[in-house]
Amino acid sequence: MPRVVLTRHLQRFFPTLKEAEEVPGATVRDLIAELNKRYPGFALYVVDETGRLRRHVNVFVHDEPICDREALSDAVSPGDEVFILQALSGGAGGH
Amino acid sequence: MSNQILLATKKGTLLVDRRNGRWTPRPIAHAGQAVSYAARDPRDGTLWACMDNAHWGPALMRSRDAGATWEDASRVVYPQGARYIEQLIPDPKAMEEAGKPIIYKAAALMKVWALGFGGKDQPGVIHAGTLPGGLFTTRDGGESWELNRPLWNHESRGGDLFAGAATSKNQWGGTPAAIAYGEFVPGIHSVVVDPRDSNHVYVAVSCAGVIETRDGGKSWAGCNRGMLNDYLPNPEAEWGHDPHFVTLCPGQPDRLWQQNHSGVFTSEDGARSWKRVSQKDVAVHFGFPIAADDKDAKTAWVVPLQSDQERMTIGGGLFVARTSDGGASWQSFREGLPQEHCYDVIYRHALDASGDSVCFGSTTGNVYVSEDRGESWGCIGTNLPPVHSVRFA
Protein backbone atom coordinates (compact mmCIF):
# COMPACT_ATOMS: atom_id res chain seq x y z
CA MET A 1 0.00 0.00 0.00
CA PRO A 2 1.13 3.63 -0.42
CA ARG A 3 3.37 5.12 2.19
CA VAL A 4 2.36 8.60 3.39
CA VAL A 5 5.14 10.79 4.75
CA LEU A 6 3.81 13.55 7.00
CA THR A 7 5.36 16.81 8.04
CA ARG A 8 6.29 16.89 11.69
CA HIS A 9 4.25 20.07 12.02
CA LEU A 10 1.14 17.93 12.13
CA GLN A 11 2.38 16.06 15.18
CA ARG A 12 1.66 19.22 17.14
CA PHE A 13 -2.03 18.58 16.58
CA PHE A 14 -1.87 14.77 16.45
CA PRO A 15 0.89 13.72 18.84
CA THR A 16 0.60 10.02 18.00
CA LEU A 17 0.88 10.63 14.25
CA LYS A 18 3.85 8.76 12.81
CA GLU A 19 6.33 10.39 10.45
CA ALA A 20 5.26 7.85 7.85
CA GLU A 21 2.13 5.75 7.68
CA GLU A 22 1.24 2.81 5.47
CA VAL A 23 -2.22 3.72 4.18
CA PRO A 24 -4.51 1.79 1.83
CA GLY A 25 -6.21 3.66 -1.02
CA ALA A 26 -6.36 4.25 -4.75
CA THR A 27 -6.34 8.06 -4.72
CA VAL A 28 -4.86 10.78 -2.58
CA ARG A 29 -8.37 11.50 -1.38
CA ASP A 30 -8.67 7.90 -0.15
CA LEU A 31 -5.44 8.23 1.80
CA ILE A 32 -6.59 11.35 3.59
CA ALA A 33 -9.97 9.77 4.36
CA GLU A 34 -8.19 6.77 5.89
CA LEU A 35 -5.88 9.00 7.92
CA ASN A 36 -8.97 10.85 9.14
CA LYS A 37 -10.32 7.54 10.45
CA ARG A 38 -7.09 6.88 12.31
CA TYR A 39 -6.80 10.45 13.57
CA PRO A 40 -10.26 12.02 13.81
CA GLY A 41 -10.21 15.58 12.56
CA PHE A 42 -7.06 15.09 10.48
CA ALA A 43 -8.67 15.75 7.10
CA LEU A 44 -9.71 19.31 7.87
CA TYR A 45 -6.10 20.21 8.56
CA VAL A 46 -5.20 19.26 4.99
CA VAL A 47 -8.37 20.01 3.02
CA ASP A 48 -11.26 22.40 3.57
CA GLU A 49 -14.89 21.34 3.92
CA THR A 50 -15.35 21.26 0.14
CA GLY A 51 -12.53 18.75 -0.16
CA ARG A 52 -10.08 21.21 -1.71
CA LEU A 53 -6.46 21.04 -0.66
CA ARG A 54 -5.78 23.96 1.65
CA ARG A 55 -4.10 26.86 -0.07
CA HIS A 56 -0.82 26.55 1.77
CA VAL A 57 -0.56 22.76 1.89
CA ASN A 58 1.21 20.65 -0.71
CA VAL A 59 0.83 16.97 -1.52
CA PHE A 60 3.43 15.22 -3.66
CA VAL A 61 3.38 11.75 -5.14
CA HIS A 62 7.06 10.93 -5.21
CA ASP A 63 8.57 14.18 -6.49
CA GLU A 64 5.54 15.54 -8.29
CA PRO A 65 2.88 17.81 -6.82
CA ILE A 66 -0.60 16.42 -7.30
CA CYS A 67 -2.58 17.76 -10.25
CA ASP A 68 -6.06 17.82 -8.75
CA ARG A 69 -6.03 20.17 -5.78
CA GLU A 70 -9.82 20.47 -5.95
CA ALA A 71 -10.81 16.83 -5.41
CA LEU A 72 -7.50 15.02 -4.82
CA SER A 73 -8.32 12.41 -7.45
CA ASP A 74 -4.68 11.72 -8.30
CA ALA A 75 -4.16 7.96 -8.43
CA VAL A 76 -1.72 6.20 -6.14
CA SER A 77 -0.39 2.67 -6.28
CA PRO A 78 1.12 0.27 -3.77
CA GLY A 79 4.67 1.32 -3.13
CA ASP A 80 4.08 4.97 -3.97
CA GLU A 81 5.43 7.50 -1.53
CA VAL A 82 3.08 10.40 -0.85
CA PHE A 83 4.25 13.50 1.00
CA ILE A 84 1.94 15.87 2.89
CA LEU A 85 3.82 19.09 3.61
CA GLN A 86 3.17 22.68 4.47
CA ALA A 87 3.81 25.04 1.55
CA LEU A 88 6.49 27.64 2.11
CA SER A 89 3.98 30.27 0.96
CA GLY A 90 1.98 29.96 4.17
CA GLY A 91 4.66 31.59 6.25
CA ALA A 92 4.23 34.94 4.54
CA GLY A 93 1.44 37.39 3.98
CA GLY A 94 -1.06 39.11 6.14
CA HIS A 95 -1.68 36.33 8.57
CA MET B 1 -13.17 45.47 37.49
CA SER B 2 -11.64 42.73 35.40
CA ASN B 3 -8.24 41.42 36.46
CA GLN B 4 -7.42 39.63 33.24
CA ILE B 5 -6.99 40.57 29.59
CA LEU B 6 -6.90 38.18 26.65
CA LEU B 7 -4.72 39.13 23.71
CA ALA B 8 -5.05 37.31 20.40
CA THR B 9 -1.85 37.85 18.47
CA LYS B 10 -0.08 36.80 15.32
CA LYS B 11 2.05 34.45 17.46
CA GLY B 12 -0.42 33.01 19.93
CA THR B 13 -2.74 33.85 22.83
CA LEU B 14 -1.50 35.92 25.72
CA LEU B 15 -3.28 36.02 29.05
CA VAL B 16 -2.37 39.11 31.02
CA ASP B 17 -3.09 39.05 34.75
CA ARG B 18 -3.40 41.97 37.11
CA ARG B 19 -1.57 41.15 40.33
CA ASN B 20 -0.55 43.63 42.99
CA GLY B 21 -1.47 46.48 40.70
CA ARG B 22 0.68 45.25 37.79
CA TRP B 23 -0.45 43.75 34.52
CA THR B 24 1.83 40.83 33.62
CA PRO B 25 1.60 38.55 30.57
CA ARG B 26 1.84 34.81 31.10
CA PRO B 27 3.98 32.63 28.79
CA ILE B 28 2.25 32.58 25.43
CA ALA B 29 -0.28 29.87 24.59
CA HIS B 30 -0.49 28.47 21.04
CA ALA B 31 3.09 29.64 20.48
CA GLY B 32 3.84 30.51 16.89
CA GLN B 33 0.25 30.22 15.70
CA ALA B 34 -1.84 33.16 14.60
CA VAL B 35 -4.99 33.77 16.63
CA SER B 36 -7.61 36.08 15.19
CA TYR B 37 -9.77 36.60 18.30
CA ALA B 38 -9.78 35.47 21.92
CA ALA B 39 -12.39 36.07 24.60
CA ARG B 40 -13.84 34.68 27.82
CA ASP B 41 -17.41 33.45 27.98
CA PRO B 42 -18.80 35.47 30.88
CA ARG B 43 -21.38 32.78 31.66
CA ASP B 44 -19.12 29.85 32.44
CA GLY B 45 -15.59 31.26 32.28
CA THR B 46 -14.52 29.21 29.24
CA LEU B 47 -11.74 30.88 27.30
CA TRP B 48 -11.99 30.79 23.51
CA ALA B 49 -9.31 31.27 20.88
CA CYS B 50 -10.02 31.51 17.15
CA MET B 51 -7.02 29.87 15.52
CA ASP B 52 -5.97 31.32 12.19
CA ASN B 53 -3.30 28.88 11.09
CA ALA B 54 -2.15 29.82 7.60
CA HIS B 55 -1.29 26.22 6.71
CA TRP B 56 -3.78 24.03 8.53
CA GLY B 57 -6.86 26.21 8.41
CA PRO B 58 -9.08 28.02 10.88
CA ALA B 59 -10.07 26.23 14.08
CA LEU B 60 -11.48 26.97 17.51
CA MET B 61 -9.82 26.11 20.78
CA ARG B 62 -11.19 26.48 24.28
CA SER B 63 -9.88 26.28 27.81
CA ARG B 64 -12.12 25.22 30.64
CA ASP B 65 -9.43 25.58 33.28
CA ALA B 66 -8.68 29.30 33.02
CA GLY B 67 -5.96 28.86 30.42
CA ALA B 68 -3.95 26.01 32.00
CA THR B 69 -4.81 23.70 29.10
CA TRP B 70 -6.55 24.14 25.74
CA GLU B 71 -8.58 21.67 23.72
CA ASP B 72 -9.99 21.60 20.22
CA ALA B 73 -13.62 22.60 19.84
CA SER B 74 -15.50 21.31 16.86
CA ARG B 75 -14.54 22.98 13.58
CA VAL B 76 -16.85 25.49 12.01
CA VAL B 77 -17.63 24.18 8.52
CA TYR B 78 -19.92 25.45 5.81
CA PRO B 79 -22.58 22.91 4.80
CA GLN B 80 -22.48 21.29 1.41
CA GLY B 81 -24.22 23.50 -1.13
CA ALA B 82 -23.43 26.78 0.60
CA ARG B 83 -22.45 29.21 -2.13
CA TYR B 84 -21.74 32.86 -2.49
CA ILE B 85 -21.47 35.27 -5.39
CA GLU B 86 -17.89 35.96 -6.33
CA GLN B 87 -16.72 39.50 -5.75
CA LEU B 88 -13.82 40.93 -7.68
CA ILE B 89 -11.35 43.33 -6.19
CA PRO B 90 -12.17 46.58 -7.94
CA ASP B 91 -9.06 46.91 -10.07
CA PRO B 92 -8.85 47.52 -13.83
CA LYS B 93 -8.81 43.80 -14.59
CA ALA B 94 -11.97 43.30 -12.57
CA MET B 95 -13.61 46.14 -14.40
CA GLU B 96 -13.04 44.25 -17.64
CA GLU B 97 -14.97 41.38 -16.11
CA ALA B 98 -17.94 43.57 -15.29
CA GLY B 99 -21.10 42.48 -16.99
CA LYS B 100 -20.00 38.88 -17.29
CA PRO B 101 -22.21 36.15 -15.81
CA ILE B 102 -22.38 35.75 -12.05
CA ILE B 103 -19.87 33.26 -10.71
CA TYR B 104 -20.99 31.18 -7.75
CA LYS B 105 -18.35 29.79 -5.44
CA ALA B 106 -18.59 26.98 -2.92
CA ALA B 107 -18.18 28.39 0.57
CA ALA B 108 -15.42 27.18 2.84
CA LEU B 109 -14.42 28.74 6.12
CA MET B 110 -11.51 31.14 5.82
CA LYS B 111 -11.52 32.64 9.27
CA VAL B 112 -13.55 32.93 12.46
CA TRP B 113 -13.35 36.68 12.91
CA ALA B 114 -15.37 37.25 16.07
CA LEU B 115 -17.44 35.50 18.71
CA GLY B 116 -20.61 36.71 20.40
CA PHE B 117 -21.81 34.99 23.53
CA GLY B 118 -25.51 34.38 24.07
CA GLY B 119 -27.36 35.72 27.07
CA LYS B 120 -27.56 34.14 30.50
CA ASP B 121 -30.81 32.52 29.42
CA GLN B 122 -29.01 30.74 26.58
CA PRO B 123 -26.22 28.68 28.16
CA GLY B 124 -24.03 27.11 25.52
CA VAL B 125 -25.13 29.49 22.78
CA ILE B 126 -22.25 31.19 21.01
CA HIS B 127 -22.31 32.97 17.68
CA ALA B 128 -19.31 33.05 15.34
CA GLY B 129 -18.87 35.66 12.62
CA THR B 130 -16.76 34.46 9.74
CA LEU B 131 -15.19 35.06 6.39
CA PRO B 132 -16.78 34.51 3.82
CA GLY B 133 -19.70 36.19 5.56
CA GLY B 134 -21.54 33.40 7.34
CA LEU B 135 -22.83 33.55 10.89
CA PHE B 136 -22.63 30.26 12.78
CA THR B 137 -24.24 29.37 16.09
CA THR B 138 -23.51 26.59 18.53
CA ARG B 139 -26.12 25.66 21.10
CA ASP B 140 -23.96 23.14 22.93
CA GLY B 141 -20.88 25.11 23.87
CA GLY B 142 -18.96 24.41 20.68
CA GLU B 143 -19.64 20.72 20.08
CA SER B 144 -21.41 21.54 16.83
CA TRP B 145 -21.97 24.68 14.79
CA GLU B 146 -24.75 25.51 12.40
CA LEU B 147 -24.79 28.10 9.63
CA ASN B 148 -27.56 30.64 10.06
CA ARG B 149 -29.30 30.06 6.76
CA PRO B 150 -31.81 32.94 6.89
CA LEU B 151 -28.89 35.37 7.01
CA TRP B 152 -26.78 33.45 4.48
CA ASN B 153 -29.80 33.28 2.16
CA HIS B 154 -30.88 36.87 2.80
CA GLU B 155 -32.18 38.80 -0.17
CA SER B 156 -29.33 41.27 0.29
CA ARG B 157 -26.97 38.42 -0.65
CA GLY B 158 -28.86 37.25 -3.70
CA GLY B 159 -31.35 34.98 -1.96
CA ASP B 160 -31.19 31.23 -1.44
CA LEU B 161 -28.20 30.10 -3.45
CA PHE B 162 -28.56 26.57 -2.04
CA ALA B 163 -31.68 26.35 -4.20
CA GLY B 164 -30.28 27.80 -7.39
CA ALA B 165 -29.43 31.05 -9.06
CA ALA B 166 -29.64 34.43 -7.40
CA THR B 167 -33.12 35.87 -7.13
CA SER B 168 -32.09 39.32 -5.97
CA LYS B 169 -29.15 41.65 -6.27
CA ASN B 170 -26.18 40.88 -4.06
CA GLN B 171 -25.50 43.90 -1.86
CA TRP B 172 -22.64 42.44 0.16
CA GLY B 173 -19.19 43.42 -1.00
CA GLY B 174 -15.82 42.04 -0.07
CA THR B 175 -13.54 43.27 2.67
CA PRO B 176 -9.87 43.96 2.11
CA ALA B 177 -9.31 41.96 5.29
CA ALA B 178 -10.11 38.86 3.23
CA ILE B 179 -7.51 39.38 0.55
CA ALA B 180 -4.84 37.59 2.58
CA TYR B 181 -7.03 34.50 2.27
CA GLY B 182 -7.06 34.70 -1.51
CA GLU B 183 -10.61 35.96 -2.00
CA PHE B 184 -12.48 39.24 -1.83
CA VAL B 185 -15.39 38.15 0.32
CA PRO B 186 -17.58 39.75 2.99
CA GLY B 187 -16.83 39.24 6.65
CA ILE B 188 -18.87 39.36 9.85
CA HIS B 189 -16.69 40.95 12.50
CA SER B 190 -19.20 42.19 15.09
CA VAL B 191 -21.81 40.03 16.81
CA VAL B 192 -23.74 41.96 19.45
CA VAL B 193 -26.34 40.24 21.61
CA ASP B 194 -28.92 42.50 23.27
CA PRO B 195 -28.54 41.88 27.03
CA ARG B 196 -32.32 42.33 27.46
CA ASP B 197 -33.28 39.82 24.79
CA SER B 198 -30.97 37.07 23.59
CA ASN B 199 -33.04 36.64 20.44
CA HIS B 200 -32.16 40.18 19.42
CA VAL B 201 -28.74 40.10 17.77
CA TYR B 202 -26.94 42.63 15.61
CA VAL B 203 -24.19 41.65 13.25
CA ALA B 204 -21.97 44.02 11.30
CA VAL B 205 -20.64 43.12 7.89
CA SER B 206 -17.76 44.51 5.92
CA CYS B 207 -18.88 45.54 3.44
CA ALA B 208 -22.65 45.72 3.73
CA GLY B 209 -23.63 47.34 7.02
CA VAL B 210 -25.51 46.39 10.18
CA ILE B 211 -28.23 43.77 10.09
CA GLU B 212 -30.32 42.50 12.98
CA THR B 213 -32.60 39.69 14.00
CA ARG B 214 -35.28 40.06 16.63
CA ASP B 215 -36.48 36.47 16.45
CA GLY B 216 -33.39 34.45 17.27
CA GLY B 217 -32.04 34.34 13.73
CA LYS B 218 -35.15 33.33 11.83
CA SER B 219 -35.36 36.64 9.96
CA TRP B 220 -32.99 39.54 9.42
CA ALA B 221 -33.36 43.18 8.44
CA GLY B 222 -30.83 45.84 7.63
CA CYS B 223 -30.57 48.79 9.99
CA ASN B 224 -28.45 51.40 8.31
CA ARG B 225 -30.75 54.42 8.28
CA GLY B 226 -28.72 57.54 8.85
CA MET B 227 -25.48 55.89 7.89
CA LEU B 228 -23.34 57.84 5.45
CA ASN B 229 -20.85 56.30 3.07
CA ASP B 230 -18.54 58.90 1.60
CA TYR B 231 -17.41 56.43 -1.04
CA LEU B 232 -20.73 55.83 -2.74
CA PRO B 233 -22.52 58.06 -5.24
CA ASN B 234 -25.48 57.95 -2.87
CA PRO B 235 -24.00 58.25 0.64
CA GLU B 236 -27.33 57.27 2.18
CA ALA B 237 -27.62 53.96 0.34
CA GLU B 238 -29.18 51.16 2.38
CA TRP B 239 -26.21 48.85 1.81
CA GLY B 240 -22.55 49.14 0.98
CA HIS B 241 -21.40 50.50 4.33
CA ASP B 242 -18.16 49.48 5.94
CA PRO B 243 -18.64 49.29 9.68
CA HIS B 244 -15.24 48.55 11.15
CA PHE B 245 -16.72 47.61 14.51
CA VAL B 246 -20.09 47.87 16.22
CA THR B 247 -20.83 47.57 19.92
CA LEU B 248 -23.45 48.65 22.43
CA CYS B 249 -23.66 49.91 25.99
CA PRO B 250 -24.68 46.90 28.10
CA GLY B 251 -26.33 49.11 30.73
CA GLN B 252 -28.41 51.03 28.18
CA PRO B 253 -28.57 48.71 25.19
CA ASP B 254 -30.47 51.03 22.87
CA ARG B 255 -27.19 52.93 22.58
CA LEU B 256 -24.93 51.56 19.88
CA TRP B 257 -21.59 52.80 18.65
CA GLN B 258 -19.96 52.24 15.31
CA GLN B 259 -16.49 53.08 14.08
CA ASN B 260 -16.97 53.11 10.35
CA HIS B 261 -14.72 53.77 7.40
CA SER B 262 -16.59 57.04 7.00
CA GLY B 263 -16.47 58.21 10.58
CA VAL B 264 -17.84 57.45 14.03
CA PHE B 265 -21.59 56.87 14.29
CA THR B 266 -23.95 56.32 17.18
CA SER B 267 -27.55 55.24 17.64
CA GLU B 268 -29.82 56.00 20.57
CA ASP B 269 -32.74 53.93 19.39
CA GLY B 270 -31.48 50.40 18.97
CA ALA B 271 -30.01 50.99 15.49
CA ARG B 272 -33.27 52.23 14.01
CA SER B 273 -31.30 55.32 13.10
CA TRP B 274 -27.68 56.43 13.20
CA LYS B 275 -25.97 59.79 13.25
CA ARG B 276 -22.39 60.67 12.51
CA VAL B 277 -20.52 62.09 15.50
CA SER B 278 -17.02 62.33 14.06
CA GLN B 279 -15.15 65.52 14.57
CA LYS B 280 -12.19 65.83 12.32
CA ASP B 281 -11.07 68.99 14.11
CA VAL B 282 -10.21 66.87 17.14
CA ALA B 283 -8.97 64.10 14.87
CA VAL B 284 -11.78 61.64 15.56
CA HIS B 285 -12.85 60.21 12.26
CA PHE B 286 -11.02 57.25 10.80
CA GLY B 287 -10.03 54.17 12.77
CA PHE B 288 -11.01 50.59 13.39
CA PRO B 289 -12.10 49.86 17.00
CA ILE B 290 -14.60 51.46 19.33
CA ALA B 291 -15.44 50.58 22.93
CA ALA B 292 -18.59 51.45 24.85
CA ASP B 293 -18.85 52.10 28.55
CA ASP B 294 -20.50 49.34 30.57
CA LYS B 295 -23.11 51.63 32.11
CA ASP B 296 -23.04 55.13 30.69
CA ALA B 297 -24.68 55.31 27.29
CA LYS B 298 -22.91 58.55 26.42
CA THR B 299 -19.35 57.34 26.95
CA ALA B 300 -17.19 55.61 24.35
CA TRP B 301 -13.53 55.42 23.36
CA VAL B 302 -11.75 55.30 20.01
CA VAL B 303 -8.12 55.21 18.91
CA PRO B 304 -8.11 57.30 15.75
CA LEU B 305 -5.76 57.01 12.79
CA GLN B 306 -4.82 59.73 10.33
CA SER B 307 -7.06 58.55 7.47
CA ASP B 308 -7.82 55.60 5.27
CA GLN B 309 -5.13 56.80 2.89
CA GLU B 310 -2.63 57.13 5.74
CA ARG B 311 -3.29 54.35 8.21
CA MET B 312 -0.96 55.49 10.92
CA THR B 313 -1.04 57.62 14.02
CA ILE B 314 -1.83 61.28 13.72
CA GLY B 315 1.32 63.35 13.85
CA GLY B 316 3.34 60.36 15.02
CA GLY B 317 1.79 60.28 18.50
CA LEU B 318 -0.62 57.78 20.03
CA PHE B 319 -3.75 59.03 21.73
CA VAL B 320 -7.12 57.76 22.82
CA ALA B 321 -10.23 59.88 22.37
CA ARG B 322 -13.22 59.66 24.69
CA THR B 323 -16.64 61.14 24.50
CA SER B 324 -18.80 61.51 27.61
CA ASP B 325 -21.68 63.29 25.92
CA GLY B 326 -22.80 60.87 23.25
CA GLY B 327 -20.32 62.05 20.65
CA ALA B 328 -21.10 65.75 20.85
CA SER B 329 -17.50 66.34 21.91
CA TRP B 330 -14.33 64.28 22.23
CA GLN B 331 -11.38 64.60 24.55
CA SER B 332 -7.93 63.33 23.59
CA PHE B 333 -5.72 61.66 26.19
CA ARG B 334 -1.99 61.16 25.68
CA GLU B 335 -0.47 60.76 29.16
CA GLY B 336 1.68 57.65 29.23
CA LEU B 337 1.46 57.07 25.48
CA PRO B 338 4.45 57.67 23.17
CA GLN B 339 4.21 60.87 21.21
CA GLU B 340 6.72 60.42 18.41
CA HIS B 341 7.64 57.81 15.81
CA CYS B 342 4.50 55.75 16.39
CA TYR B 343 3.21 53.74 13.46
CA ASP B 344 0.78 51.66 15.45
CA VAL B 345 -2.49 50.57 13.90
CA ILE B 346 -5.15 49.31 16.28
CA TYR B 347 -7.27 46.63 14.69
CA ARG B 348 -11.06 46.54 15.09
CA HIS B 349 -11.07 44.08 17.99
CA ALA B 350 -7.99 45.46 19.71
CA LEU B 351 -9.63 47.99 22.05
CA ASP B 352 -11.81 47.10 25.03
CA ALA B 353 -13.23 48.69 28.15
CA SER B 354 -14.38 47.21 31.43
CA GLY B 355 -15.40 49.40 34.34
CA ASP B 356 -12.77 52.11 34.62
CA SER B 357 -10.22 50.05 32.67
CA VAL B 358 -9.46 50.48 28.99
CA CYS B 359 -6.87 48.54 27.02
CA PHE B 360 -5.63 48.50 23.45
CA GLY B 361 -2.97 46.68 21.46
CA SER B 362 -1.37 47.48 18.13
CA THR B 363 0.03 45.95 15.00
CA THR B 364 3.50 46.84 16.20
CA GLY B 365 3.14 44.82 19.38
CA ASN B 366 2.50 47.58 21.86
CA VAL B 367 -0.19 47.11 24.50
CA TYR B 368 -1.37 49.89 26.81
CA VAL B 369 -3.83 49.86 29.67
CA SER B 370 -5.60 52.63 31.58
CA GLU B 371 -7.34 52.29 34.92
CA ASP B 372 -8.80 55.80 34.96
CA ARG B 373 -11.17 55.65 32.04
CA GLY B 374 -8.52 56.33 29.43
CA GLU B 375 -7.02 59.47 30.92
CA SER B 376 -3.56 58.05 31.67
CA TRP B 377 -1.85 54.95 30.38
CA GLY B 378 0.65 52.31 31.40
CA CYS B 379 2.46 49.91 29.14
CA ILE B 380 1.95 46.14 29.28
CA GLY B 381 4.48 45.34 26.57
CA THR B 382 6.32 46.88 23.64
CA ASN B 383 7.83 43.86 21.93
CA LEU B 384 4.76 41.69 21.72
CA PRO B 385 3.51 40.16 18.46
CA PRO B 386 1.06 42.11 16.30
CA VAL B 387 -2.18 42.25 18.29
CA HIS B 388 -5.40 41.10 16.63
CA SER B 389 -7.78 41.37 19.59
CA VAL B 390 -7.89 42.67 23.14
CA ARG B 391 -10.66 41.55 25.45
CA PHE B 392 -11.07 41.92 29.19
CA ALA B 393 -11.92 38.56 30.74
> To the nearest whole angstrom, how far is the Cα of A69 from the nearest Cα of chain B?
15
Cis bond before residue B207 (omega within 30° of 0) = yes
- Cross-chain Cβ contact A95/B54 below 8 Å: yes
- Cross-chain Cβ contact B72/A41 below 8 Å: yes
Q: How many CB pairs under 8 A join A and B?
A: 54
Contacts of B19 (CB under 8 A, 6+ apart): B3
pLDDT given at position B94: 62
- CA-nearest of A9, A3, A4 to A91 is A9
Q: Does the pLDDT at position A94 exceed 60?
A: no
> To the nearest whole angstrom, how far is the Cα of B179 from the nearest Cα of chain A?
9
Helices (H), chain B: 92-97, 149-152
Residue A75, chain B, CB below 8 Å: the answer is: no
pLDDT given at position B230: 87
φ, ψ (nearest 5 deg) of residue B205: -120, 130
**How far is residue A52's CA from residue B22's CA, in Å, rounded to a whole number?**
47
ipTM of the shown complex: 0.92
How many other β-carbons are positioned within 10 Å of the β-carbon of residue B171? 20
Residue A64, chain B, CB below 8 Å: the answer is: no
Per-residue pLDDT of chain B (393 residues; tens, 9 = 90+): 799 999 999 999 999 999 999 999 999 999 999 999 999 999 999 999 999 999 999 999 999 999 999 999 999 999 999 999 998 876 666 656 666 789 999 999 999 999 999 999 999 999 999 999 999 999 999 999 999 999 999 999 999 999 999 999 999 999 999 998 989 999 999 999 999 999 999 999 999 999 999 999 999 999 999 999 988 888 889 999 999 999 999 999 999 999 999 999 999 999 999 999 997 767 899 999 999 999 999 999 999 999 888 899 999 999 999 999 999 999 999 999 999 999 999 999 999 999 999 999 999 999 999 999 999 999 999 999 999 999 999
Is the model's pTM score more than 0.90? yes
pLDDT given at position B287: 96
Give the confidence band of A93 by pLDDT, cuts at 50, 70, 90: very low
User: With contacts defined as CB-CB under 8 Å, which chain A residues touch B59?
Assistant: 44
Strand B111-117 and strand B104-106: the pairing is unpaired
Decide: helix, strand or coil at residue B95. helix
Residue A78, chain B, CB below 8 Å: the answer is: no
- Burial annotation A13-50 (CB, 10 A radius, 16+ → b, else e): ebeebeeebebebebbbbbbbbbbeebeebbbbbbbbe
Longest dimension (CA), chain A: 40
pLDDT per residue as tens digits for the range A8-43? 999 999 999 999 999 999 999 999 999 999 999 999
Q: Does the pLDDT at position A95 exceed 60?
A: no
Residue A54, chain B, CB below 8 Å: the answer is: yes
Among B34, B72, B108, beta carbon nearest to A49: B108
